[in-house]
Amino acid sequence: MPHSPLATPTRSPGARPSGDRPSGARAVSRCDLLGEVPYSDVPGQLFRPYLGGGHAATLDRIAAWMAEAGMRARIDPAGNIVGRYEGSMPDAPALLLGSHVDSVRDAGRYDGMLGVMLGIETVAHFAERGRRFPFALEVIGFGDEEGSRFPVSMLCSRAVAGALAGQDMAQDMVDAQGTSLADALGGFGLDLARFSQAARRRADVLAYVEAHIEQGPVLEAADRPLGVVSAIAAQYRFQADVTGVAGHAGTMAMDLRRDALAAAAEMVLAIERIGGGGPPDLVATVGRLAVGPGVPNVVPGTVGFTIDVRAGTHAVRDGAARAIRAALSEIAARRQVTLDLAQQQDLPATPCDPALTGLLEEAVRQATGHAPHVLVSGAGHDAMAMARLAPVGMLFLRCAGGISHNPAEAVDEADADCALRALTDFVARFAEAHQAGRR
């Protein structure tokens, strides 16, 4: 049966949250709870694709936690969950806190989700004290950031930011099983025709702040629990399709072959060489490869693979992309195969708002007793899309070994407690700055 948009139980404005006290440790434990069936589509591992059964169960659970924290929860037309804690005046603009709730296959439990849980804990902290602000606090859990189901990442934050390109909403967008986006939305009681109505008005959103695990080793190496992000790296994503000639593995002479896989293998090595030859912030990755016909005794005739290129500046990223295109074209011509290279994604470098960054730095200094560690994010985040709508800021948490997108992903509860202190302090500082700006 379709999973209809939830009708969340609500609490009276003066009611106190139930259960344990707000804490970073509780945020971590809730992420752990959401790492298993029914919140995952696959027993024994975490895989929570957008608009799947695990996603539906997760939204129901998050809605209950939002209600406990004093928020009213709703599902927007793109399938994002939004909890609102009203300000001192009705219909006030909102400060948004959050991240994404979907996951890659065989994922870790804290990527994205910890930011949503810390947002809920932040609101619970203020609700417990009966404190309200001249703006609303909203916690948003974006339905799709990873692009693990449909071939566009940050689909839902783009919708909220009003930044959807026409091709993103193509009626024929389908997942690997052939399910269309329209049908998947219909299974949630949502309508593709209303998807773009998830867009928020600029006047209604003051800022967006995202807490996220670092997904890298910098903070651990610096022995710092928290870091403040100054910018998010620029990113390209391409789909490369190589076509040669399939033939019998026993009768096709080696010097006459047009082996698509051998050509693709050389291309992958060229991508690795170019990615490793630039400045330290340049990375290039082939993350997925499909071989056809995929039979042991047949020379491969087709290969499709992805290319992900990232760097801290557009100039470095774009230069690497040009070098990759040239290298792959040369290999294809020399090996007598055809190459089709299609750009799937172009995410610009996203500087975080200086004022928000400054407030986060002060909050981190207060929470940790140390000068804040400021760094660039090599990973993409919903904040990149949300920067089209409002000023953005990001808080990073240390993760063990820098490991992410992996079941070994781990965070320390003490670090999460520290992050919650920083977030609550940030909100208080933001309120002071907001009030000063209105005078």
Q: What CATH number did the domain enclosing 75 receive?
A: 3.40.630.10
Q: Are residues 385 and 264 in the same domain?
A: no
Q: Are residues 337 and 433 in the same domain?
A: no
Res. 380: pLDDT tops 90:
no
Specify the DSSP element, H or E, that contains 24. helix 24-33
Of the candidate ranges 150-164, 251-265, 302-316, 318-332, the one whose mean pLDDT is the lowest: 150-164
Q: Are residues 196 and 286 in the same domain?
A: no
Per the listing, tokens 């139930």 go with 18
159, 75 Cβ separation under 8 angstroms: no
Domain count, the chain: 2
CA distance to 63, 113, 175, 183, 352, per residue, from 58 (Å): 8, 10, 21, 20, 29
Q: Is 32 contained in some domain?
A: yes
What was the pLDDT predicted at 215?
95
Q: Are residues 67 and 138 in the same domain?
A: yes
Q: Is 17 contained in some domain?
A: no
- Out of 347, 365, 389, a domain closes at 347
- What contacts 24+ positions apart, CB below 8 Å, involve 318-323? 319/278, 320/274, 320/275, 320/278, 320/282, 320/284, 321/236, 321/238, 323/274
Per the listing, tokens 């009030």 go with 435
Q: Are residues 326 and 407 in the same domain?
A: no
430, 207 Cβ separation under 8 angstroms: yes
- Whole-angstrom Cα distance, residue 58 to residue 54? 6
Q: Are residues 307 and 358 in the same domain?
A: no
Q: Identify any residues that bridge with 208 across adjacent strands, giving them in sequence order.
A: 96, 392
Q: Are residues 333 and 363 in the same domain?
A: no
Tokens of 208: 């967006």
- Out of 298, 313, 347, a domain closes at 347
Q: Is 98 contained in some domain?
A: yes
Average pLDDT over residues 37-44: 97
93, 135 Cβ separation under 8 angstroms: yes
Q: Is 19 contained in some domain?
A: no
31, 114 Cβ separation under 8 angstroms: yes
In this structure, what DSSP letter does residue 180 have?
Answer: B
Res. 96: pLDDT tops 90:
yes
Structural domain span for residue 277: 234-347
Q: Are residues 333 and 360 in the same domain?
A: no
Q: Are residues 192 and 258 in the same domain?
A: no
Task: Assign 2 a pLDDT band (cuts: 50, 70, 90).
Answer: very low
- Out of 347, 374, 392, a domain closes at 347
Q: Are residues 63 and 148 in the same domain?
A: yes
Quote the distance between the C-alpha of residue 392 and its chain's center.
14
- Whole-angstrom Cα distance, residue 137 to residue 263? 53
Exposure of 4 by Cβ count < 10 A (0-12 exposed, 13-18 middle, 19+ buried)? exposed
- Whole-angstrom Cα distance, residue 405 to residue 281? 20
Q: What CATH number did the domain enclosing 339 receive?
A: 3.30.70.360
Q: Is 16 contained in some domain?
A: no
For the entire predicted model, the pTM comes to: 0.82
Residue 97 phi, psi (nearest 5): -120, 140
Enumerate residues 6+ apart whose C-beta is below 8 A from 336.
244, 258
Average pLDDT over the chain reads 93
What was the pLDDT predicted at 151?
81
Specify the DSSP element, H or E, that contains 311. strand 302-311
Res. 408: pLDDT tops 60:
yes
CA distance to 31, 228, 380, 395, per residue, from 354 (Å): 30, 11, 19, 13
Backbone Cα Rg of the chain = 23
Of the candidate ranges 136-140, 151-155, 198-202, 265-269, the one whose mean pLDDT is the lowest: 151-155
Res. 232: pLDDT tops 80:
yes
Average pLDDT over residues 226-250: 96
Q: Are residues 105 and 209 in the same domain?
A: yes
Q: Is 64 contained in some domain?
A: yes
Q: Is 1 contained in some domain?
A: no
Res. 249: pLDDT tops 90:
yes
Res. 332: pLDDT tops 90:
yes
Quote the distance between the C-alpha of residue 388 and its chain's center.
16
Q: Is 18 contained in some domain?
A: no
- Whole-angstrom Cα distance, residue 402 to residue 111? 12
Q: Are residues 215 and 283 in the same domain?
A: no
